[in-house]
Amino acid sequence: MRVLAYELRRVRGLRSTWLLLGLVVVCDAVVAGVLAGQVGDRTLGGAAAVRLLTAAVPLVPLPFAALGAGVLGALAYGHEVRHRGLAASQVSYPRRVRLLTAKLAVTGALAALLALVTLLIDAVTVHFALPAGVTVAAWSDPAALSARVAEALAQSGPGGLVDVLPPVAAPLALVAGQGAPAALLAFVLLVVVAGWTGVLTAALTRSATAGVLLLCALPPLLESAVALVLRQSGTPWPARAAELLPFPSGIEWAYGWVYGGDGRVAGGGVLSAAPALTDPALLAAAVAPVLVLLLVTLVVQARRRAL
């Protein structure tokens, strides 16, 4: 408990935390606004809507929110190394593991919050930035809307927001009809995983910068690895993803596959997202890197004398 309190105070007391969070949210909103302004279609499909909401930009290895969470995580550890407050209090291994756990917990919570906040802000932005005449698929079925929204919010976090912010929650529903809650949940998960990865890569390299670089390098590497695994396991992996390897399909990998990995498919018909998320191979693909990193970190920590 003490380490948790310490970590919370540490994160709270730094200006860089708030600057970074603000930067991520603003970036996300701007990108989402610009993307929304460029929508030319008359109807907005589910996949495109998800992309708008998460402000996904091609060629950037991770969405902004995930990148921000990763940087926060890396800084959480890097500061400990660089500006350690109590010189020698982390000598014993259990204490170090405890501190690491606290950092993972705080970073994870922060990352999840960040993801939700960006989703909300982006939804508002997209709502206002969408050109006139664009109809969102979800709008067309108002009956299902409220139920979907409630379900979406219940699934992805605080359900009470529906009552508090109806105008904000309404745009969120533009993906609700498309099985989007699962996609958004995947997004939140991705952000949290990115935050943890940041902490762990920084723990391995003992440097925030190196941690962030490693974090950015991971998705392209993982992408190919996951494609390989899926192909080996016989799970249908779209041929297109393999064509686009190694790099540009990073975003597709990240949450494209929730729709079956293909924007055209997602745009054409409504696919159930639930099976994709519960697909053990995909879940493993998302979580395995973090687990591996965690194990390596614990082993490396056992060899060290200080954080």
Instruction: Kindly list the residues in this chain that would bind other proteins in the complex (CB under 8 A).
Output: 2-3, 5-6, 8-10, 13-16, 79, 81-89, 91-92, 206, 305-306
Tell the smallest beta-carbon distance from residue 203 to other proteins (Å). Answer: 14
Task: Between 15 and 42, name the residue whose CB sits nearer to other proteins.
Answer: 15
What is the rounded distance in angstroms from the CA atom of residue 163 to the CA atom of residue 113? Answer: 19
Tell the smallest beta-carbon distance from residue 90 to other proteins (Å). Answer: 9
Task: Between 9 and 231, name the residue whose CB sits nearer to other proteins.
Answer: 9
Tell the smallest beta-carbon distance from residue 17 to other proteins (Å). Answer: 10
What is the rounded distance in angstroms from the CA atom of residue 198 to the CA atom of residue 209? Answer: 10
* Amino acid in position 150: A
Task: Between 127 and 206, name the residue whose CB sits nearer to other proteins.
Answer: 206
Task: Between 72 and 218, name the residue whose CB sits nearer to other proteins.
Answer: 72
Tell the smallest beta-carbon distance from residue 109 to other proteins (Å). Answer: 17
What is the rounded distance in angstroms from the CA atom of residue 65 to the CA atom of residue 53? Answer: 11
DSSP string, 210-233: HHHHHHHHHHHHHHHHHHHHHHHH
Q: Encoding tokens for residue 290? A: 């973090």
Task: Between 4 and 229, name the residue whose CB sits nearer to other proteins.
Answer: 4
Question: How buried is 206 (Cβ within 10 angstroms: 0-12 exposed, 13-18 middle, 19+ buried)?
Answer: middle
Tell the smallest beta-carbon distance from residue 7 to other proteins (Å). Answer: 9
Strand ranges (E), 40-158: 43-44, 135-136
Q: Are strands 135-136 and 43-44 parallel, antiparallel or unpaired?
A: parallel
